[in-house]
């Protein structure tokens, strides 16, 4: 089975947000790297955000990245590489600056049937980085078969806290890679229209396919897509309730 990575496609809408604040003294929130490093299929590059507090107090940062595309598809794999680097952090669940929570939190969501749905989440409240450097990886390689997906979202949040002497707080996220893969539309049929050849795509057949094709012993399903789908061909078909289009091969 061959796959197409969705986030790096030109038609995919990508949104990057980061934020932060601090208490009891001066602090700064500083980004580094290019947004494109997140989905460039190169684990040697990364987008980062640093929260830095210059004395006793606290600093809080968030890093969010989402990608959405037109045309629901079946997602087979999610791949994520991210790292937290922190110093001076004590994590107290009984103390929440501005209600933000004294913990580290990561999660991945997919937009399934128009609703953001939790796929993976991870949180901790231990003393990582308490008066020393601490490192934590959020690396995921998840394989499944999520249907009707139009987006992915990755969230990070972290608070570094200290009131135990004159020391700073340092919290940095590096997001090195986020990839999501759909099955490639392999060519299953060729049609002629207005003296042009149209290559129609399909993939491994499932019970959800209303249109199917058989070539000797090979069976393929041809998904029906909306007119707004970037891979919609000019070949229209009625599925019993609405007009749909056959997809072009990748």
- As a whole number, mean pLDDT of residues 147-157 equals 92
For residue 207, pLDDT over 80 is answered with no
Q: Tell me: the pLDDT tens digits for 73-129? A: 889 999 999 998 877 655 544 455 555 555 678 899 999 999 999 999 987 765 555
**Alpha-carbon gap, residue 34 to 56, rounded angstroms:** 31
Of 127 and 31, the one with more pLDDT: 31
Question: What is the 3-class SS of 225-246, one letter each residue?
Answer: ECCCCCCEEEEEEECCCCEEEE
Ranges of each domain in the chain: 3-183, 186-247
Topology annotation, domain 3-183: Jelly Rolls (2.60.120)
- As a whole number, mean pLDDT of residues 205-218 equals 76
3 state DSSP class of 216: coil
Q: Tell me: the pLDDT tens digits for 153-171? A: 999 888 776 666 566 777 7
For residue 12, pLDDT over 50 is answered with yes
**b vs e for 71-97, b when ≥16 Cβ sit within 10 Å of the residue's Cβ?**
bbbbbbbbbbbbbbbbbbbbbeeeeeb
For residue 250, pLDDT over 70 is answered with yes
Lowest mean pLDDT among 74-78, 149-153, 213-217: 213-217
Q: What is the dihedral of CA 127, 132, 138, 139, to 10 degrees?
A: -140
In this prediction, residue 94 carries a pLDDT of 46
Of 62 and 123, the one with more pLDDT: 62
Lowest mean pLDDT among 20-24, 57-61, 90-94, 155-159: 90-94
Of 25 and 15, the one with more pLDDT: 15
In this prediction, residue 243 carries a pLDDT of 87
């Amino acid at each position: 089975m061959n796959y197409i990575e969705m986030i790096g496609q030109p038609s995919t809408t990508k949104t990057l947000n980061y934020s932060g604040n601090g208490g009891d003294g001066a602090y700064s929130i500083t980004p580094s790297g290019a947004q494109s490093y997140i989905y460039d299929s190169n684990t040697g590059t990364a987008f980062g955000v640093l929260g830095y507090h210059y004395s006793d107090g606290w600093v809080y940062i968030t890093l969010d990245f989402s990608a959405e595309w037109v045309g629901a598809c079946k997602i087979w794999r999610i791949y994520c590489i991210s790292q937290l680097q922190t110093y001076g952090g004590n994590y107290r669940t009984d103390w929440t600056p501005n209600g933000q929570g004294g913990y580290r939190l990561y999660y991945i969501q997919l937009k399934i049937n128009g609703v953001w749905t939790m796929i993976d989440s991870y949180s901790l409240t231990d003393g990582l980085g308490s008066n020393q450097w601490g490192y934590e990886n959020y690396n995921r390689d998840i394989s499944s078969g999520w249907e009707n997906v139009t987006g992915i979202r990755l969230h990070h949040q972290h608070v570094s806290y200290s009131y135990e002497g004159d020391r700073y707080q340092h919290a940095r996220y590096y997001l090195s890679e986020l990839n999501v893969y759909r099955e490639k539309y392999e060519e299953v049929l060729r049609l002629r229209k207005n003296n042009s050849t149209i290559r129609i795509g399909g993939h491994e057949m499932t019970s959800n396919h209303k249109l199917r094709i058989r070539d000797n012993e090979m069976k393929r399903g041809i998904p029906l897509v909306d007119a707004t789908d970037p891979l919609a061909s000019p070949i229209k078909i009625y599925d019993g309730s609405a007009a749909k289009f056959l997809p072009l091969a990748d």
